[in-house]
Amino acid sequence: MKKSLIFTFYLLFSVLLIVQVTQAQSRPIGYGMTAESKKTADQFNQELATQVLQWMRVVLDEGGLHETANSLPITITKYSDFHELLKDGTVLCKLINVIKPGSVKKINESKMAFKMMGNIGNFLDAANKVLGINKYDLFQTVDLYEAQNLPQVIKGVFAFARKAQTIVGYNGPVLGGRKATNMREFSEEQLRFGEGIFGLQAGENRGESSNTFGKIRSGNY
């Protein structure tokens, strides 16, 4: 009897979840937006969004995920385009696995709403529990999946990128404020790959604070 009740409860919960995510999937971006969420959309910063995508491109490319890296544009101009690129969570999951292998055990390629939301949730869970990023520095699943607060998503990726600099074994590019003091420039190949990177200067090795990104020398964290 007890097992039957548990099964019934689980079944009802699963049906409710499927209904909720199906409704969310069918809603257009901006559906039911409040004045506050519209204001948030207006605060979308194209330059910061572009920096985020360029950083992701280089990290993924250096991690051997060339196809995923090439799927990301060099520049971004629309709020909706940024949302569509990241809403299924696969790029974020692949990104964290490059920086800290095995952080996300399974990445769902399905376009079913609850699978995509699951990817985002798995990324956030790993960022918090594996990398140790405060959840308040990240974002919520609906901020990305339903495009409720993409500026917060960008801030969360910056926080994630800063934490990546402290991960032993990570020797990739830097995004945001630098924690390393000994920097070198991108190779010519990387510069071509990330054309349009803001403020990147050849020969840069002084380690001053900046919102650009560069390459960390091995062993300098």
- List own/partner pairs for 164-172 with CB under 8 A and 24 or more apart: 164/99, 164/131, 165/216, 165/221, 166/221, 167/99, 167/100, 167/131, 168/221, 170/99, 170/100, 170/216, 171/215, 171/216, 171/217, 171/218, 172/58, 172/59, 172/62, 172/63, 172/98, 172/99, 172/215, 172/216
Q: Which residues contact 117 (CB under 8 A, 6 or more apart)?
A: 21, 24, 89, 141, 145
- Does residue 148 lie in a domain region? yes
Q: What is the pLDDT of residue 22?
A: 54
Q: Is the pLDDT of residue 197 over 90?
A: no
- Does residue 53 lie in a domain region? yes
Please compute the mean of the pLDDT values over residues 57-65 and round it to a whole number: 95
H or E segment to which residue 180 belongs: none
Residue 8 identity: T
Q: In which band, very low, low, confident or very high, does the pLDDT at 217 lie, cut at 50, 70 and 90?
A: very low
Structure tokens belonging to residue 204:
């840069």
Q: Which segment of 27-36, 124-133, 137-146, 150-159 scores lowest on mean pLDDT?
A: 27-36
- Does residue 15 lie in a domain region? no
Residue 143 sits in a domain of what CATH number?
Answer: 1.10.418.10
Give the domain range for residue 109.
34-169
- Say what the pTM is: 0.67
- Does residue 17 lie in a domain region? no
- Does residue 28 lie in a domain region? no
Structure tokens belonging to residue 129:
């529990």
- What is d(CA 27, CA 25) in angstroms, rounded to the nearest whole number? 6
- Does residue 16 lie in a domain region? no
Q: What is the pLDDT of residue 43?
A: 80
- Does residue 38 lie in a domain region? yes
* Runs of H (alpha helix) within the chain: 2-26, 35-42, 46-62, 66-70, 79-86, 90-99, 113-129, 141-145, 150-164, 188-193
Give the mean pLDDT of the chain: 75
Please compute the mean of the pLDDT values over residues 5-14 and round it to a whole number: 53
Q: In which band, very low, low, confident or very high, does the pLDDT at 120 lie, cut at 50, 70 and 90?
A: very high
Give the number of domains in the chain: 1
Q: In which band, very low, low, confident or very high, does the pLDDT at 176 lie, cut at 50, 70 and 90?
A: confident
- What is d(CA 19, CA 25) in angstroms, rounded to the nearest whole number? 10
What percent of the chain is modeled with pLDDT above 70? 61
- Does residue 197 lie in a domain region? no
Q: What is the pLDDT of residue 156?
A: 97
Q: In which band, very low, low, confident or very high, does the pLDDT at 8 lie, cut at 50, 70 and 90?
A: low
Q: What is the pLDDT of residue 203?
A: 34
CA-based end-to-end distance of the chain: 57
